[in-house]
Amino acid sequence: MFNRVLAVCIALTSLAAIAQDAPVAPTTETLTPAAASAPERDVLREQLHLWHRGERISGFVPFVGSGVASALAGTFLVTSDSNAARGGGWVVLGFGVLEIAAGLVFALSSFSAETRRDLELTQDRPAFIEREKARLKRITTLYQPLLLGVEAAVAVGGGVTAGIGGLRRDEVMVGVGLGLAVQGLIFFLLDWAVSDRANAYALALGL
């Protein structure tokens, strides 16, 4: 009865896991004072552009890609004859639209932010470094842990909801729970990749 829901859930989770492992501007060098001041190569500027390039790739590929897949899967499920599939389909479809919107905002805003920060780096390097350190510290110690915690809670809550629905033989509740569990896991995987990239840039800044 739930084969269609489970198949779609497994496919979406696998897609997110693959997207998380996609190369997004790897960082291998740590900024040192000597490197930062070397005229022949500005490592900090390189890391700044790598960070924003990764933001765009992450926004357009994993976020928008998984969002489109989720929206299509949700549309497929809501047209099913199964109550479980329809219940899960609306959740998957809603999260898919959210993923597409978040990915587009995430990626498009990076263009102007990159230009602005590059200019700030040129105009006042010490002030730029201090501002970026403060910003990355907020991202790595507050925003990303909070997001990951909420997404993990959604995934676990969805699993619990599906389990309760199964005990009650409530197909709609099972479908909604599975949809929440899978979409929470997808967002968790995508934001984990963002967290890794933020930590790499923070290391380049000397945090």
Would you state the pLDDT for residue 61?
A: 84
Residue with tokens 């590929």: 61
Would you state the pLDDT for residue 13?
A: 52
Among candidates 140, 68, 70, which has minimal Cα distance to 104?
A: 68
Would you state the pLDDT for residue 194?
A: 80
Among candidates 58, 188, 59, 197, which has minimal Cα distance to 136?
A: 197
What are 2's two structure tokens?
A: 């739930």
Would you state the pLDDT for residue 36?
A: 45
Would you state the pLDDT for residue 20?
A: 46
Residue 161 resides in a domain: yes
Are 139 and 198 within 8 A, CB to CB?
Answer: yes
Among candidates 75, 78, 84, 29, which has minimal Cα distance to 51?
A: 29
At 43-77, the pLDDT tens digits run 888 888 888 888 888 888 888 988 899 899 889 98
Would you state the pLDDT for residue 34?
A: 45
Residue 20 resides in a domain: no
Residue 32 resides in a domain: no
Q: What are 56-59's contacts with CB under 8 Å, separation 24+?
A: 56/107, 56/110, 56/111, 57/22, 57/24, 57/25, 58/24, 58/103, 58/106, 58/107, 58/190, 58/193, 58/194, 58/197, 59/102, 59/103, 59/104, 59/105, 59/106, 59/107, 59/108, 59/110
Residue 19 resides in a domain: no
Would you state the pLDDT for residue 152?
A: 94
- What is the dihedral sign for C-alpha 45, 102, 157, 13? negative
Residue 171 resides in a domain: yes
Domain range enclosing 141: 42-205
What is d(CA 49, CA 110) in angstroms, rounded to the nearest whole number? 10
Residue 28 resides in a domain: no
Would you state the pLDDT for residue 134?
A: 93
Q: How many domains does the chain have?
A: 1
Would you state the pLDDT for residue 25?
A: 44
Point out the residues of the chain with pLDDT beneath 50.
1-8, 10, 15, 17-31, 34-39
Would you state the pLDDT for residue 114?
A: 92
Residue 158 resides in a domain: yes
This prediction's pTM: 0.69
